[in-house]
Structure 1
Amino acid sequence: MSVQSKHFVNAAENLVVESLQGLCAVNPQIALDVADKVVYVASPDRSKVALICGGGSGHEPAHGGFVGDGILTAAACGSVFASPNASQVRRAIDLVENEKGAVIIVKNYTGDILNFGLAREQYAAQHPEKADRVRFVVVADDVAVGRSQGKIVGRRGLAGTCLVYKIAGAHAKRGASLNEVYDIAEWVSSRVGTIGVGLEHCHVPGTAAGESHLKPSEIEIGMGIHNEPGNRRLSPIPPLSDIVKEQLDLLTSTSDPERSFLPFKGKDKIVLLVNNLGGTSELEMTSIVRETRLQLESRGYQIERVLAGTFMTSLNMPGYSITVLLLPDSSEKNAPSASLLLELLDDKPNVPGWKWSAPSKPLAPSAQIKQTSGTGSAAAVAETIRLRAEDPQAFIASVKRACEALIEAEPELTRMDSIAGDGDCGLTLKDGANGVLKEVDAGRISGDNVVDSVIAVAKVAEERMGGTSGALYSIFFSALAQGLQVHSKGTLSAAQWSESLTEARDKLYTYTRARPPSRTLVDPLDAFVRALAAAKGADFGAAVKAAGDAALKTRDLEAKAGRSAYVEGNRLKDEQVPDPGAWGVKVILEGLLG
């Protein structure tokens, strides 16, 4: 897959500062020291412990997005994926200095540790009486880096760091002492594990667009947040359930000497954080949450809290990470209580970067997710008039042909709609076709009961297709079922089909303003119905040809309705692309004709 290499910037070298200035517009609590790229609480409560963090930019909302009441007091921000220097960190310490002291929390990257550590030592050298008031916590939660590989440098710091920020920050806001804030940050740091996965690496603004790192059929388990390589690559891309299993095997292992980092005992209580690495859709994210939750619970873990969203990104990386915080049990000595940790996690901070989360454990799926029986639809079908096709076997054969033709045409319809619409027409019609084929296989569509079959098609269009086209098809076929029952008895004739199709078209017109020529599916549908009516249903082939001609002509038409109306007109003319919805009608009718 290709790397997203286009960005919205004035100049790449100014992006970090301009981003921090925009953050100040969002969050009135904070101020920005432009020269040192430090964001800090403008009027901090100096009677409470300060929390300082930072690192390379490109991980937003970390770090500046967490600065504010309830989490961080200051963040020193480097260039993209580059640590801030010691002078920047010193400035952060000076800006929030107080008598209670400060805790510096950094991710385990060499540059961060050296520069934040140097700043701390410089501060201690200049203020020896305050040397013990600035503590240092390093978070290394990446389980993709084994003990042998990380023997010297240790494991990388990933999204688990955000849980350390949150819990330590809430503890500080409650008025905890320096030792208490430091101790709880250290303890949480020792109990978080994270594993990421990416479909592709990310692109740094201002750099040349490189070759794709991964093949179209590959994913990478264990990628770092600075484009570092992962633990392994998988190809072809497995289903999500297999990806999550692979991640959880690494994350929860107690037998792998390289990666058994957390002391799981069985039936442990945990906090789950699913983090978007920057380029994953919200639709996919909640699906990932579902899969991860189900697999963790199937392994016996008790999930006390679920957090999900964008916490620590890798710019625009299409990927996500799973973090687990292992909560203590009552037998552990020198550990904070699980109830305190959850309370601190639940405390609502007043910062723009922290995502909403429920202050309770997830409910059992059965309490929230209801499955309908569909008995109401069955009862409605039972009241319809039973009508038979003239040739029931030919009826079913034509339905199958139309569905198979739509499925085969999906790539071309998708290509057309990527130019003339929003790119989903091919997949929408394919979903409808597959749904109809399932109804055929289940015996709910047959030539012996045409009305029920037409109603079944309308239901598929409503439930499987959705959107505008699904509604249009469902209205048309529902109206067709009504017309068939009014005009027909016993066995359906061609003339009766024609009369019912005409009425169905007219009823559809009461719900859409589109009229031919409009560059929509109405163009071939209307041409088909008119030609069939003119021949009193006797020349189906001529009517299908009329529909095909009308669909082809849409390539020369100005769009007046549908999503194509929003596409720049010259592009449609230059591309000479027929309307994909109209083309879908052509494919269906030609499939019926065979």
Structure 2
Amino acid sequence: MSAIQSKHFLNKPEDLVSDSLEGLCALNPVLTLDRQNKIVHIAKHDRSKVALICGGGSGHEPAHAGFVGKGILTAAVCGNVFASPSASQVRRGIDLVQNEKGTVIIVKNYTGDILNFGLAKEQYAALHPEQADRVKFVIVGDDVAVGRTQGYIVGRRGLAGTVLVYKIAGALAQRGASLDEVHDIAQWASSRVATIGVGLEHCHVPGTAPSVTHLSVSEIEIGMGIHNESGNKRVSPVPLLSELIPQLLELLTSTEDPERSFVDFKGKGKDKVVLLMNNLGGVSELELAGVLSETKKQLGARGISIERILSGSFMTSLNMPGFSITLLLLPSESSEPSFDLVLSLLDDTTEAPGWKWSSGRPIKPLQLTAVAVAASKSVKGASITASNPELFIQSIKKACEALIKEEPEITRMDSVAGDGDCGLTLKAGAQGVLNKIGDGSISGKDVIGSVIAVSQVAEEAMGGTSGALYSIFFSALAQGLSSSASSNSATTTHQVWSEALKSALAKLYTYTRARPPSRTLVDPLAAFAEAFSPDSSAQAVRAAATAAQKTQDLEAKAGRSAYVEGDRLKEQKVPDPGAWGVKTILENLNIA
């Protein structure tokens, strides 16, 4: 079992929360910090308006303190990681935001938060009887993973949907609404949000002993909480998003499941929602946008109209590799609060740094850019045939298959000597070439067109530095072959290949500073081109293999390895991954 990521950047674990809050206040100078009580609040808040206080355990950043700012919250009271603040901390927070209209406290449905914030409210009322009716309480429980039977006593957990309650109530307070109006709309929003989370693994709490995974490499967990609580269902193997998202949306929108029909969705195309896609802490922006795309597609398939989308980190669980989906069911046109009011409150600007950008417009079908017409696959007027067309194609297939098989080893090398993607990049190129063979774009009867097709694959399927180098080399190789074809050479020969390879290498040198020995793919490529002769290609292959092997002893002068600690490369004796890829191709290729 592999270990959960348990390394952190900090001074002392016990100071992490306070240090983090100081950093937040440095980011937003309108905020100030009561460090002793871990309270972030607006330094000069407008005391003619209702104040909003939230809080709970830390580790969910930007919740809670990241939403303090004009237009959302007035103060946030923070506990230690995953631990509720004390009642005395909360009571101090109420004192700090005292105002003419009153205060609304919004907490997630967790026992510690409810008890400590509730106790503070009652203690404050006892100490200030005249203020007793001017502090109101809202509890948000939006988790749909916990069914009614299981959660009969404790209720649903509060998750990322709580943030939408903050925003709607905070925006209304900013407009000058009364205490009852702000409290009522917070209660309404709380009753209309539904959230479900899913994770690949739990998170690690700073200052605790390293832990090991409780999920296998092929499992995910649906219904995970934000304090490392286990979910209600494990799924294996890890499903495609097109399979996972419908399961999650069914839990959110079901109108027939007596355990989980928490929000009154109507179905039949009548529902309009706000979609909040929340990163639980450890998901890349690349993946999260893919999750968002699939969720949008699946909501559309259910006839649910998305009026607004918010995406990013709103309520995390430290470094948990997972996400949650929240739906806020909007009111019908004739309901109270009105449809237009709720959307306008969400759209109102705020100075809170944790709030993410939104377009402020309904979501329309995606308009894809028209596909460009493909470039001609061959050079006009030039044609040359392989000396053995069938062997030519078979050897290209063999080289591609060898490259795909070698991907794990090349990836391992690149994890030490580069950024870890070389194996996958070469595999993508090899698969792209096989696809071109399948559709007839690569043929032994049109060598020039085939080489151009390989160049296009390198450009489009591989990308990056190696893709550009391969594409330039093969484009130049096609030019060299074209010169031979123009000289009335109807078929490829060793002489034709020799001249074309050398001219291609010369053109490549105009675009890269790498020269052998450089610990790059240029080393074996140059060795092959220079040793290739009309008499023998086997000698050139051996020269390329030797050059690739020698890269393990070279100091990196160019390419990915130039940024890696030199001693580490020497100790591990790792050849250059790109050079190894060239070696793999050439050892399986017969171009004559």
Task: State the TM-score bracket (shorter-chain normalisation).
Answer: over 0.9
Given residue 179 of structure 2, which amino acid in structure 1 is its aligned partner? L
Once the two structures are superposed, residues 400-438 of structure 1 have per-residue CA deviations (whole angstroms, 9 ceiling, x without a partner) of 000000000000000000000000000000000000000
* Contact 1:413–1:583 (8 Å) recurs in 2: yes
Partner of 2:229: 228
Cα displacement string for residues 345-373 of structure 1 (whole angstroms, at most 9, x for unaligned residues): 0111111111111110122112xx2241x
Aligned 8 A contact 1:107 1:156 in 2: yes
Residue 201 of structure 2: aligned partner: 200
2:529 corresponding residue in structure 1:
529
User: What TM-score results when the alignment is normalised by the length of structure 2?
Assistant: 0.98
Whole-Å separation in 2 of the counterparts to 1:149 and 1:308: 30
Residue 297 (1) aligns with residue 300 (2): yes
The residue type equivalent to 2:304 in the other structure is: Y
Distance of 2:452 and 2:559 partners within structure 1: 25
Q: CA offset at residue 376 of structure 1? A: 4.2
Separation in structure 2 between the aligned mates of residue 284 and residue 384 of structure 1, nearest angstrom: 46
Find the aligned partners of 1:352 and 1:301 in 2 and give their Cα distance: 30
Residue in 2 that maps onto 1:317: 320
What secondary structure does 1:273 align onto? strand
Residue 354 of structure 2 corresponds to 353
- Asked if residue 328 in structure 1 is aligned to residue 331 in structure 2, the reply is yes
- Equivalent of residue 414 in structure 1, options 411, 414, 439: 411
Aligned-pair identity (%)? 67
What secondary structure does 2:479 align onto?
helix
SS at match of 2:145: coil
Counterpart mapping for 1:545-584 below 5 A: 545-584=542-581
Aligned to 1:144: 145
Taking the aligned partners of 1:262 and 1:386, their CA distance within structure 2 comes to 67
Of the candidates 455, 458, 474, which is equivalent to residue 458 of structure 1?
Answer: 455
Q: Partners in 2 of 1:593 and 1:480 — Cα distance?
A: 16
Aligned to 1:519: 519
Matches within 5 A, 1:468-479: 468-479=465-476
Q: How many equivalent pairs are there?
A: 585
Question: How many Å separate the matches in 2 of 1:83 and 1:186?
Answer: 22
How do 1:34-45 residues align onto structure 2 when only pairs under 5 Å count? 34-45=35-46
Aligned partner of residue 271 in structure 1, secondary structure: strand
The ranges of structure 1 where at least 4 consecutive aligned residues each deviate by more than 3 angstroms after the TM superposition are none
Q: 1:377 aligns to what SS in structure 2?
A: coil
1:273 partnered with 2:272:
no
Residues 433-459 of structure 1 deviation map (CA, whole Å, 9 limit, x = unaligned) = 000000000011010011110000000
Cα separation, 2, equivalents of 1:228 and 1:50: 32
TM-score, normalising length from structure 1?
0.97
Aligned to 1:100: 101
Q: Deviations over 1:12-65 (max 9, x none)?
A: 111011111111111101111111111111100000000000000000000011
| 1:375 alignment partner, SS class | coil
- Matched AA of 2:265: F
Distance in 2 (alpha carbons) for counterparts of 1:450 and 1:591:
18
Q: CA deviation at 1:593?
A: 4.2
Query: Alignment RMSD, CA only?
Result: 1.0
User: After superposition, what is the alpha-carbon deviation per residue over 1:229-281, rounded to whole angstroms, capped at 9, x for unaligned?
Assistant: 11100011111111111111111110000000111112201000000000000
State the AA in 2 paired with 1:309: G
Match among 395, 399, 403 for residue 400 of structure 2: 403
Residue number in structure 1 paired with 2:286: 283
Q: Tell me, which stretches of 5 or more residues in structure 2 are unaligned?
A: none
Question: Would the aligned equivalents of 1:386 and 1:451 in 2 still touch at CA under 8 Å?
Answer: yes
Q: Is the 8 A contact 2:52 2:103 kept in 1?
A: yes
1:489-500 equivalences under 5 Å are 489-500=489-500
Name the CA distance, whole Å, in 2 between partners of 1:221 and 1:384. Answer: 60
Task: Name the structure 2 match of 1:385.
Answer: 382
How far is the alpha carbon of 1:381 from its aligned partner?
3.4
| 1:143-179 superposed Cα distances (whole Å, 9 cap, x missing partner) | 0000001000000000000000011111111111111
* Higher mean C-alpha displacement, 261-270 vs 466-475: 261-270
C-alpha distance in 2, partners of 1:382/1:290? 40
Whether 2:477 is the aligned partner of 1:480: answer yes
What secondary structure is seen at the aligned counterpart in 2 of 1:325?
Answer: strand
* Partner Cα distance (1:569, 1:450) in 2: 41
Deviations 1:103-125 (A, max 9, x none): 00000000000000000001111
Native 8 Å contact 2:3 2:211 kept in 1: no
Amino acid at match of 1:36: N
SS class of match (2:378) = helix
